[in-house]
Amino acid sequence: MDENMQKFASSHMQLLKEDFPDLHKNMMDFKKIIFEDSTVDKRTLKLVAIALTAASDSEMPIRKQMSTGIKQFGFTKEEIMDVLKLVLLVSGKPGFLKAVGIMYDELEKQGKLDE
């Protein structure tokens, strides 16, 4: 996620934390439950998250999931494309194409495009 989008998302979470601390805590706890109490490994969950955000056709979530997936798990272009092909199959071309562009951008930003 680029710095401006990160600030945008973080600022909203900060406002939520300040004005609605119980809701913020519940959201953070829920995220922890999803990743900590899963029978599916974290790497696979992140690939699922990439596919789900790509299907939503919304740039900021796609970029965030891809960026963190590449950083945390070292996803390759081929691994990401495998889940994006599922997006093309079940959700269609718009989200798929947007996600493909973001994939190349994020891999290039992290110096992993040619791996």
| Residue ranges making up the domain that contains 6 | 1-37
Residues 28, 57, single domain; the answer is: no
Taking the model in full, what pTM does it have?
Answer: 0.81
pLDDT tens digit sequence for 32-50: 888 888 899 999 999 999 9
Which has more pLDDT, 11 or 110? 110
Residue whose entry in the numeric block shows the structure tokens 């996620």: 1
pLDDT tens digit sequence for 50-99: 999 999 999 999 999 999 999 999 999 999 999 999 999 999 999 999 99
Contact between 77 and 113 (Cβ < 8 Å):
yes
Residues 27, 53, single domain; the answer is: no
Residues 75, 113, single domain; the answer is: yes
Q: Angle, to 10 degrees, between the axis of helix 93-109 and the axis of helix 42-56? A: 130
| Nearest Cα residue to 9 out of 78, 67, 91 | 67
Residues 45, 33, single domain; the answer is: no
Which CATH number does the domain housing residue 83 bear?
1.20.1290.10
Residues 55, 84, single domain; the answer is: yes
One-letter identity of residue 33: I
Residues 97, 114, single domain; the answer is: yes
What total of structural domains would you count in the chain?
2
Average pLDDT value for residue range 16-38: 88
